[in-house]
A and B are shown apart, each in its own frame.
Chain A
Amino acid sequence: GAVVSQHPSWVICKSGTSVKIECRSLDFQATTMFWYRQFPKQSLMLMATSNEGSKATYEQGVEKDKFLINHASLTLSTLTVTSAHPEDSSFYICSAKEPSGNTIYFGEGSWLTVV
């Protein structure tokens, strides 16, 4: 079946540095991908909608200059957390819609720890 892959699965970075998370659709092309954030024992919180070839649409309260999203191809979207702080530590998950149907698949998630 369709697969959405994220990399890295987990990453530790120092405060003030930037870290990039990749989201790839392996079996299909996705013009739209979504980025979520999840805190322990809470549901998924939508951060932004990533559109291939155009600017991402950010949810209210999400800093676009801090969470840079690039959807440069139909199979790859990246989320860069810039000038990371400990409060950015979280579980980040992406999803993509398979165009042939209406199924939305999620990646395995990426754990970010900022120390």
Chain B
Amino acid sequence: EDQVTQSPEALRLQEGESSSLNCSYTVSGLRGLFWYRQDPGKGPEFLFTLYSAGEEKEKERLKATLTKKESFLHITAPKPEDSATYLCAVQAGGNTPLVFGKGTRLSVIA
């Protein structure tokens, strides 16, 4: 059974304090690993898709990396507007639904 585990469940950072969110996964044939940002009361906003171990992608203060067992979302010098829930999900097949982790709730304090 495909599984995704995210840690920590919640993270509180001071503005400018860099950190990383973890996403561990087990999947039968990874087609893609996805990162989303979700603000309260809104749908998930797409951030990245990673396809193979060793791949990295960056967007502003965010950088996602992938190994064969886990992915990290690195947040460099975060700002209060980065506060959100970050969701990790995997896809095993072409048109199969995503399997989500429970998310990490990030709070960045000014």
Contact = CB atoms under 8 A, between A and B. Distances in A.
A56 B91 CA distance: 19
Given A43-B87, A102-B49, A49 B97 contact: yes
Interface string B82-110: 00000100010001011011110100000
Contacts of A105: 46
Given A102-B31, A104-B34, A106-B36, A46 B97 contact: yes
Contact of B101 (A4, A43, A97, A104): A43
Give the contact-size bracket for chain A.
Answer: 20 to 34
B43 interface: yes
Contacts of A44: 44, 87, 100
Nearest to A105: B46
Interface stretch (A11-19, A64-72, A74-82, A107-115): A107-115
A93 B98 CA distance: 13
Nearest to B88: A43
A91 interface: yes
Contacts of A91: 41
A42 interface: yes
Contacts of A107: 43
A25 interface: no
Given A42-B102, A43-B103, A102-B49, A109 B97 contact: no
Interface string A45-61: 01001000000000000
Interface of B: 31-32, 34, 36, 41-46, 49, 51, 87, 91, 95, 97-98, 100-103, 105
12 contacts: A34-B98, A43-B87, A43-B102, A46-B97, A49-B97, A95-B44, A103-B49, A104-B34, A104-B91, A106-B36, A107-B43, A109-B43
